[in-house]
């Protein structure tokens, strides 16, 4: 936990009490967490493709809900972006773009929390679904509660950016939930005082100290006890269970084969290789090489998904063969029938009759 935040406040006779926290850095995280800094890059007319290429992040990663990147890829991209932007208050600007909807199902769960404290606690509870890179802990200090941020050595020269970003994001989430009038009691930052502190004072609307001994943002305890407008304990439990399940599959990067399968399963008709690579901002050669590295090919994935979708459609719908052929991207019903027999050893008609009789497959 962030021991740096453990300091008696003026007028307090007891040490602060630790409530919850987490080391937020994880090996993999959702690529979409880079969206706020990408938005600022684009607003300042900086191209992002060269930065993505240097960080080895594909452009389609920001349109694929489950696409994971490694922490070192994220850090490389952020470091390059900060060099491009050259904004003294970059952390302040980026942090204001972290709204609940950006967090997906985690944001949905948080918005239903019984209290603002539980809303905020949802974030460190599922760090793989958030984008923290430094240690976060929440403490109770009499009538106040505060968030302390502790820079990990892993973030190196980006430490001040991450602290400012996450401190700003904390207040952004509080204001989104309770209204723009919410202001902290104080903000303390270890970073050196910038040449212009005006943007910090204007945003936080409270005393802000720099070159301090800790990184923390304090609120009255009543703010933490407040009930979000969308509070719903049953929905909160339901969505936090979804967060738990999603977190369980976030321990390795998403493969290109998984991405292609996902596109093939949802598109109607099933797209061609040219259409797929266009939607993924890749070349045919690049995708084929990536799939080869994963011991598969585009043709194998198409055949796998076509069989999966064909059997599903014939089991649960009254669609004719020509309609199924269209969905699967075949020229006509006869081509589909020949392909289906090659895959299964029986014609679509034989398959349907066996299904009607409740007989098992061959």
Hey, which residues does 75 pair with through a beta bridge? Answer: none
Q: What is the pLDDT of residue 301?
A: 96
- The verdict on 264 and 162 lying in the same domain is no
The burial of 98, by beta-carbon neighbours within 10 Å (0-12 exposed, 13-18 middle, 19 or more buried), is given as: buried
DSSP-assigned states of every residue in 128-161 = GGS---SEEEEEEETTEEEEEEE--GGGGGGHHH
362, pLDDT greater than 50: no
133 and 275 co-located in one domain: no
The verdict on 242 and 271 lying in the same domain is no
Same domain, 28 and 161: yes
Q: Same structural domain for residues 242 and 105? A: yes
- Residue 362 domain-assigned? no
Per the domain annotation, does 230 fall within a domain? yes
- H helix intervals, 180-232: 198-204, 221-225
Q: Are strands 68-70 and 135-141 parallel, antiparallel or unpaired?
A: unpaired
**Residue 57 and residue 31 in contact, taking contact as beta carbons nearer than 8 Å:** yes
Neighbour count for residue 252 (Cβ, 10 Å):
9
In a shared domain, residues 156 and 303 = no
Q: Do residue 136 and residue 269 come from a single domain?
A: no
DSSP reduced 3-state for 30: strand
- Does residue 38 contact residue 47 with C-beta atoms inside 8 Å? no
Instruction: Answer whether residue 336 is part of any domain.
Output: yes
**Statement to judge: residues 260 and 243 lie in one domain:** no
pLDDT value, residue 2: 40
71, 25 Cβ separation under 8 angstroms? yes
The answer to whether residue 221 is domain-embedded is yes
Number of structural domains in the chain: 2
The pLDDT of 245-257, averaged and rounded, is 84
Whether residue 169 lies inside any domain: the answer is yes
- 94: tokens are 């980026």
Q: What does the DSSP 8-state code read for residue 361?
A: P
Angle at which helix 159-178 crosses helix 116-125, to 10 degrees, equals: 140
Q: Confidence band (pLDDT; 50, 70, 90) for 295?
A: very high
CATH label of the domain that carries residue 328? 1.10.10.60
Q: Which of 209, 224, 247 marks a domain boundary?
A: 247
What pTM did the predictor assign?
Answer: 0.82
Q: Which domain holds residue 324?
A: 256-357
Task: Let me know whether 83 and 126 are in one domain.
Answer: yes
Domain membership flag for residue 210: yes
Rounded to the nearest integer, the mean pLDDT of the chain is 92
User: Does residue 187 share a domain with residue 66?
Assistant: yes
User: What would the pLDDT profile of 313-323 be if each residue is shown by its tens digit?
Assistant: 998 777 899 99
pLDDT digits (tens, 9 = 90+) for 112-164: 999 999 999 999 999 989 988 999 999 999 999 999 999 988 899 999 999 99
Query: What local confidence, expressed as pLDDT, does residue 268 receive?
Result: 92
- What average pLDDT does range 53-69 have in this prediction? 90
Q: Are residues 284 and 231 in the same domain?
A: no
Percent of the chain at pLDDT above 70? 95
Q: Of 193, 216, 247, which residue constitutes the final position of a domain?
A: 247
| 11 and 85 belong to one structural domain | yes
- Domain finish residue from 182, 216, 247: 247
Position 56 pLDDT exceeds 60? yes
Q: How confident is the model at residue 255 (pLDDT cuts 50, 70, 90)?
A: confident
Residue whose entry in the numeric block shows the structure tokens 């021991």: 3
């Amino acid at each position: 936990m962030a021991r740096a935040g453990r300091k008696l406040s003026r007028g307090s006779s007891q040490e602060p009490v630790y409530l919850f926290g987490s080391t937020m850095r994880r090996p993999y995280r959702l690529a979409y967490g880079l969206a706020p800094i990408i938005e600022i890059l684009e607003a300042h007319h900086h191209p992002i493709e060269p930065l993505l290429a240097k960080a080895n992040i594909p452009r389609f990663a920001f349109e694929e809900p489950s696409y994971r990147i490694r922490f070192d890829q994220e850090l490389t991209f952020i470091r390059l972006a900060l060099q491009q932007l050259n904004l003294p208050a970059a952390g302040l600007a980026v942090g204001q773009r972290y709204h609940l909807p950006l967090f997906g199902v985690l944001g949905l769960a948080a918005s239903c929390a019984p209290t603002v404290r539980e809303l905020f606690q949802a974030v460190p509870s599922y760090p793989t679904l958030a984008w923290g890179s430094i240690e976060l802990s929440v403490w109770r200090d009499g009538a106040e509660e505060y968030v302390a941020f502790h820079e990990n050595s892993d973030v190196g020269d980006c430490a001040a950016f991450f602290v400012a970003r996450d401190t700003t994001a904390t207040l952004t989430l509080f204001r989104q939930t309770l209204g723009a009038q919410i202001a902290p009691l104080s903000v303390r930052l270890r970073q050196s005082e910038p040449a212009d502190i005006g943007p910090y004072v204007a945003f936080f609307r409270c005393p802000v100290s720099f070159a301090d001994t800790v990184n923390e943002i304090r609120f009255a305890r009543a703010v933490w006890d407040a009930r979000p407008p969308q509070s719903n304990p049953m929905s909160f439990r339901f969505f936090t269970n979804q967060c738990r399940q999603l977190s369980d599959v976030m321990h390795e990067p998403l493969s290109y084969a998984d991405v292609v399968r996902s596109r093939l399963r949802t598109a109607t008709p099933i797209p061609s290789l040219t259409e797929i690579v266009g939607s993924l901002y890749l070349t045919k050669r690049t995708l084929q090489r990536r799939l080869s590295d994963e011991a598969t090919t585009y043709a194998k994935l198409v055949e796998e998904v076509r069989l999966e979708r064909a059997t599903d459609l014939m089991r649960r719908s009254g669609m004719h063969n020509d309609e199924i052929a269209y969905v699967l991207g075949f020229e006509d019903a006869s081509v589909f029938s020949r392909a289906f027999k090659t895959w299964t050893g029986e014609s679509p008609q034989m398959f349907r009759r066996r299904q009607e009789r409740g007989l098992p497959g061959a």
